[in-house]
Structures are given as C-alpha cells and as structure tokens.
Structure 1
C-alpha cells in the first residue's frame, strides 16, 4: 500500500560525522539488542536469499532513519551498534559513490597495508564497484562469517580514510576558493578511522562470543 511506503531519507551534510562521532548512551535500549539479535539469528539460521536481499536494501526503501530509530544510540561495541554502523557505511557509499570511490582509489595509492586486499574491492574501484562491495559486506553480515564481514568493513574504512586525508592535503595546497574543503575531508577521514576501529573491536568481541 502507498501509505506503507517511506521515501528514503538522505543524510544531510555533516550528519554522518554526527552519527559516528556522537557519544554512546550509558544505558542501552533492550529493544535495540533484542531486535538486532532476533534479526541476525533468524536470517543466519535460514538465509533465504529473498529475505537477505530485502534486509540489504531495506534502507533504499525506508531510509536510514528507520534503522537509526532502532540502533543508532547503541554502544559502538554492541551487536545493534555494529549493525547500525554497517548500514550507515552502506548509506554513505550509496549517497556519494563517486567521492568515496575516488577516496578509496587514492587510499590504495598512499596506504602501504593489506587493507585494500582485506576489503575485497576491485582495483581500480569506481562508483559501481564500491556500491557492490558495500552490498557484499552486508550480505556477509547475514550469511557469512560475521567477524570477517566487520573486518572487511574496517579495512575499507581505513583505505578510504587514507584517501580522504591525502585529498585534504591536496585541497589545502591548491583549493583556495573552498577554504573549508580541507577541514571537511580531514573530518571525514577521522570519522572513518574511528568507524574502522569500532568495526575491529566488534569483530574481536564476536570471535570471543562477547558481542551482545
């Protein structure tokens, strides 16, 4: 029914930084934990391809705000917090695939780690490739090794962060017409680095059966 449809909500400039960098509440909502656990366990026990695809593309129809209402205030080191951050990363990529792919490509050039291999993106990675990678990571959350999916997300974030930091250096030297651009790129790099650390922590907790 038309009344059941919700237009996808775009993240306004700066909201990504606010979501990722905000303080976690001291007391977590039991509803967030229960829904995250129920969804993940139900799908992983019976990974129906149709249901998995609906979960991957859920925010395309309903908007990121639908997920935010459930999980965005949960601790970064919790199951709902981890799921929220994976959806948030996918939304960031889908809203700016060209910018993210450009940063990822730059990151592969300036980063001397195995992160680009762990992330699993095609090289060179254009807008289509980074969007496909985001979907594959979320698919792995529901059907594969959950910790590996989080580690891939972390690796991707680190490569993109390195790219944004390098682009910020370029902008600082050459883009006098947009003086705020270097700061914006640097802040995005810092938030992605933080996001990578949170994914890594969640992966470690999951392997110890301690991610609640």
Structure 2
C-alpha cells in the first residue's frame, strides 16, 4: 500500500461539503483490478495476522498520508465492493476527525430524534461528544482488520443513518431563517443516508461471501 502511494505525504483537509460531492474520474478496467487486488490482499494479510502495531498503523494511515492516498486506490470503486467499503470507512473517519464537534452534534440530534436501535448498533456512548465520535471512528476501522467485518460495516451504517436523521432535523430548524444552511444540511443528510445503505449492502454481501 505504501509503495503505491509514496508520492502522497500530507493529509488533505476537506470541508464537509466534499463528502457529499466527492467523485472519482474515469474507471478503467486496470484501475478497478488494482483496487480490488490491493483491498483483498491488504485485508487478507492483516486479518490472518492481526498484529496490533500493523492494525494501528492502518487505522492512522490517512493521518500521515492524507485521504488522497486512499482515494488513489479505492475511491472509483463500486460502492458495493470491498475497496468501495474500505474507501467509505476511511472517508467517514476523516470527516469525523476534521469536524468532530459538528459531526457529534448531528449524531446526537439523530439519536434524540430517531425511534430505532441504531444508537445501540453504532455503539457510541450517550450523550455523544466529539471525543466519543472520534474514538468510534477508530473502533470501526480497527474492527475491519481484527474483528467481525460485517459488524464494523453495520456500526458505520448505523452511525451514518443517525447522522442523516440529525442533519435532516437541523435542516428543518433553520429552513425559514437560513435557506442555504438548510440546503447544505439536506444534501449532507442525503449523502449520509446513501452511504448507510451502501455500507449495509456491503455487510450483507460480506456475510454471503460475495463482497469482492
């Protein structure tokens, strides 16, 4: 992984709006093949020998190399594929770490608004603050490499669903006073809901042995 991305060194900062709009370019067959091969090789190697120091290096990889280092490998992959799932988890972690206060506020609002058990699935303590969502993001990513892969994806999906509900609720609050803010929150809610659905699909595919 490091050999492929040696040219990327500095973490890339990006606003929350980029989470809604991040798209790759063209998707030639060779890039797709490399994406799938690197994702499979990385996951297989680490899960077979989950040495703590290697897992922690992978969890913190984007802190040192930036989200672009991961995007170079996996961002153009199908959302319902192994590299697509890994990309979304890394992207979600980056979003959380760059705006833990804002993300925790949306998540907490979602917990207070939604009438379901997603907060139990996600596993963050209540009430949920910035440090809690940051720790949760690391736990989920760590779980991909040394725990139940499907459960890690489901935790991330639950987190996204609740954050989507929170963003929608907040958009309703500000709709009459700040239309631009309401529109941005609505766009984020839609992207988070879409990501939740994609991660849930990946979890089902993993359990059936068909996530590749």
Check whether the contact 1:154–1:195 (CA below 8 A) recurs between aligned residues: yes
Question: Which residue of 126, 134, 139 corresponds with 1:136?
Answer: 139
Q: Give the structure-1-normalised TM-score.
A: 0.92
Output one character per residue of 1:50-89: Cα deviation in whole Å (capped at 9) or x when no partner. Answer: 0000000000010000000000000001000000000010
| d(CA) in 1 for partners of 2:188, 2:8 | 32
Aligned-partner SS, 1:166 = helix
Check whether the contact 2:160–2:195 (CA below 8 A) recurs between aligned residues: yes
Aligned to 2:115: 112
Structure 1 residue 4: Cα displacement: 7.4
Aligned to 1:159: 162
Alignment of 1:55-204 (within 5 A): 55-173=58-176, 176=177, 178-204=178-204
Check whether the contact 2:124–2:132 (CA below 8 A) recurs between aligned residues: yes
Output one character per residue of 1:120-168: Cα deviation in whole Å (capped at 9) or x when no partner. Answer: 0010010000000000000100000000100000000001110010000
Number of residue pairs matched by the alignment = 206
| Unmatched tracts of structure 1, length 5 or more | none
Aligned to 2:46: 43
Aligned-partner SS, 1:67 = helix
Aligned-partner SS, 1:103 = helix
| d(CA) in 2 for partners of 1:85, 1:73 | 11
Structure 1 residue 99: Cα displacement: 0.5
Q: Give the structure-2-normalised TM-score.
A: 0.92
Stretches of 4+ moved more than 3 A in 1? Answer: 22-28
Aligned-partner SS, 2:159 = helix
| Unmatched tracts of structure 2, length 5 or more | 1-5
Check whether the contact 2:17–2:188 (CA below 8 A) recurs between aligned residues: no
Aligned to 1:208: 208
Structure 1 residue 5: Cα displacement: 7.4
Check whether the contact 1:24–1:76 (CA below 8 A) recurs between aligned residues: no
Structure 1 residue 14: Cα displacement: 2.5
Decide whether aligned partners of structure 1 residues 117 and 13 sit closer, same or farther in structure 2, where only a CA change above 3 A counts.
Answer: closer
